[in-house]
């Protein structure tokens, strides 16, 4: 019998304790982590190993190695995707029959498959918010020359992001890298996405997880509209008179508002110099994330970072420190505002939300209480009331257990 092969950047000896000689669908429940699984054409299981939660997917050996390397490249490029952990090959059953290889990825904490999202948030705008997040992810992939080939809600995980969602790539076995995608390749990805999304929305309606009156085709079209708007803003050429040079700064500021930094601009003029054209050549997502991390050391999603930076700006104005050094005020804000709120979360409840999302929700709750009371309630009041009245009813999202998503129909492959 050929020896088991383990490919991993930092292999854990505990991997050898897992029953690799048994088909994944027959693994005992005693070693499994009961997390909600999305729809997959392959058998997928979650296991706890050395304090980590790992996702294990049975797949052809060639595809497993290819997907492992592809996820590693995407991670180095800064694309939101699950983190590859390893590949197990040369698996054989107890009677020496060959078994498929296993691709191992780290479980993305605080993430939810789209069905789990709808089991918690069955509101009319939930689908649109997921579609918005998926459109941003798809644009980022296409800007990097990555053709997905199987765009869908099922192949994506979602994390809360200050009232919105951030999308993470999960399944890339059909993906390919190119120097640059043609319009035809982008259109094919969009057509696949629209078709898959329409089917997934209809499936949600059939499972009574979404209003049956919602127009699935219209929701699928939303992805195309959102994608086209964002792609045009990030790549479109804009012309203006030479006297309107301020338009360059305006274009860059607009891209910053969308969450992107401009690394390089293509600037051209006509023969007589009266007209100027600009086109972003290199854009990089995460403008607000990077600024917040630089100022405070807080690692957050893009919309969370935007909201926290807005609160920082408000703190700067309220404390009359507009003329002070930005980094100095930011660290004071962390010590006086952010950290006291985050530390107030009871330890038993810290798996319910990420700290930046908790702070965002406290700001939302403070606004609600102030409106209700007709006065500006203090942050301490808002924190106490939120912890007493709201947080106990939130489900743990760090590793959402299956019993908490019992409304989700069986979705075994």
**213-222 confidence digits (pLDDT tens):** 889 999 999 9
Among the candidates 69, 89, 107, a domain finishes at 107
Q: pLDDT tens digits for 41-51?
A: 788 888 988 88
CATH (domain of 19): 3.30.200
Contacts of residues 247-251 at CB distance under 8 Å and 24 or more positions apart, as own/partner, are: 247/276, 247/278, 248/276, 248/278, 251/278, 251/280
In this structure, are 131 and 160 located in the same domain? yes
272 vs 111, higher pLDDT: 111
The pTM for the full model equals 0.83
In this structure, are 89 and 118 located in the same domain? no
In this structure, are 97 and 47 located in the same domain? yes
Using 50, 70 and 90 to split pLDDT, how confident is the model at 291?
very high
**Does 400 map to a domain?**
no
**Does 70 map to a domain?**
yes
CB-neighbour burial class of residue 304 (10 A; exposed 0-12, middle 13-18, buried 19+): buried
Query: Is 389 a residue whose pLDDT tops 60?
Result: yes
Percent of the chain scoring above 90 in pLDDT: 56
Using 50, 70 and 90 to split pLDDT, how confident is the model at 232?
very high
Element (H, E) at 1: none
Domain with 80 in it: 5-107
**Does 408 map to a domain?**
no
Question: What's the pLDDT score for residue 133?
Answer: 94
**Does 363 map to a domain?**
yes
**Spatial distance between the Cα atoms of 113 and 167, rounded to a whole number of angstroms:** 10
**Tokens 């709201």 map to which residue?**
390
Average pLDDT over residues 319-338: 92
Vertex 396 angle, CA 395 and 401, to 5°: 95
Question: What's the pLDDT score for residue 399?
Answer: 57
Using 50, 70 and 90 to split pLDDT, how confident is the model at 295?
very high
| Closest listed residue to residue 197, CA positions, set 181, 185, 214 | 214
**Does 292 map to a domain?**
no
Question: Average pLDDT over the chain, rounded to whole?
Answer: 87
Using 50, 70 and 90 to split pLDDT, how confident is the model at 241?
confident
Query: Is 280 a residue whose pLDDT tops 90?
Result: no
**Does 123 map to a domain?**
yes
**Does 290 map to a domain?**
no
Question: What's the pLDDT score for residue 278?
Answer: 84
In this structure, are 321 and 386 located in the same domain? yes
Distances (CA, A) of 139 to 91, 187, 190, 223, 268: 38, 12, 10, 11, 25
Query: Is 304 a residue whose pLDDT tops 90?
Result: yes
| CB distance 369 to 385 below 8 Å | yes
CATH (domain of 196): 1.10.510.10
**Does 321 map to a domain?**
yes
What is the number of structural domains in the chain?
Answer: 4
In this structure, are 231 and 243 located in the same domain? no
**Tokens 């803003």 map to which residue?**
233
In this structure, are 120 and 103 located in the same domain? no
**Spatial distance between the Cα atoms of 265 and 230, rounded to a whole number of angstroms:** 17
In this structure, are 228 and 149 located in the same domain? yes
């Amino acid at each position: 019998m050929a020896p088991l092969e383990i490919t991993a950047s930092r292999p854990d000896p505990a991997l050898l304790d897992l029953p690799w000689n048994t088909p994944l669908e027959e693994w005992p429940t005693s070693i499994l982590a009961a997390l909600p699984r999305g729809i997959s054409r392959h058998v997928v299981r979650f296991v706890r190993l050395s304090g980590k939660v790992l996702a294990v997917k049975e797949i052809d050996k060639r595809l497993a190695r290819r997907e492992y390397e592809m996820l590693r490249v995407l991670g180095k490029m800064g694309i939101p995707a699950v983190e590859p952990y390893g590949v197990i090959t040369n698996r054989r059953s107890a009677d020496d029959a060959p078994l498929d290889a296993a691709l191992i990825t780290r479980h993305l904490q605080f993430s939810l498959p789209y069905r789990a999202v709808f089991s918690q948030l069955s509101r009319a705008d939930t689908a649109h918010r997921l579609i918005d997040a998926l459109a941003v992810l798809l644009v980022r992939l296409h800007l990097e020359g990555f053709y997905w080939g199987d765009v869908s809600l099922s192949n994506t995980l979602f994390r809360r992001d200050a009232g919105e969602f951030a999308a993470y790539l999960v399944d890339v076995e059909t993906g390919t890298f190119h120097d640059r995608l043609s319009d035809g390749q982008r259109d094919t990805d969009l057509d696949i996405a629209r078709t898959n999304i329409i089917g997934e929305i209809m499936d949600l309606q059939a499972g009574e997880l979404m209003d049956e009156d919602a127009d699935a085709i219209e929701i699928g079209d939303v992805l195309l509209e959102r994608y086209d708007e964002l792609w045009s803003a990030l790549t479109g050429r804009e012309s203006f008179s030479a006297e309107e040079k301020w338009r360059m700064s305006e274009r860059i500021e607009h891209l910053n508002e969308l969450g992107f930094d401009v690394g390089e601009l293509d600037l051209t003029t006509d023969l007589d110099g009266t007209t100027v054209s600009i086109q972003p050549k290199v854009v990089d997502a995460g403008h607000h994330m990077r600024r917040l991390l630089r100022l405070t050391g807080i690692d957050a999603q893009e919309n969370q970072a935007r909201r926290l930076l807005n609160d920082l700006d408000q703190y700067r104005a309220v404390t009359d420190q507009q003329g002070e050094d930005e980094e100095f005020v930011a660290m004071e804000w962390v010590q006086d505002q952010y950290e006291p709120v985050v530390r107030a979360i009871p330890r038993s409840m810290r798996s319910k939300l990420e700290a930046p999302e908790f702070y965002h929700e406290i700001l939302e709750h403070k606004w609600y209480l102030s409106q209700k009371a007709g006065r500006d309630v203090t942050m301490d009041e808002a924190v106490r009331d939120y912890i007493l009245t709201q947080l106990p009813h939130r489900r743990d999202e760090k590793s959402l257990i299956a019993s908490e998503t019992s409304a989700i129909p069986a979705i075994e492959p």
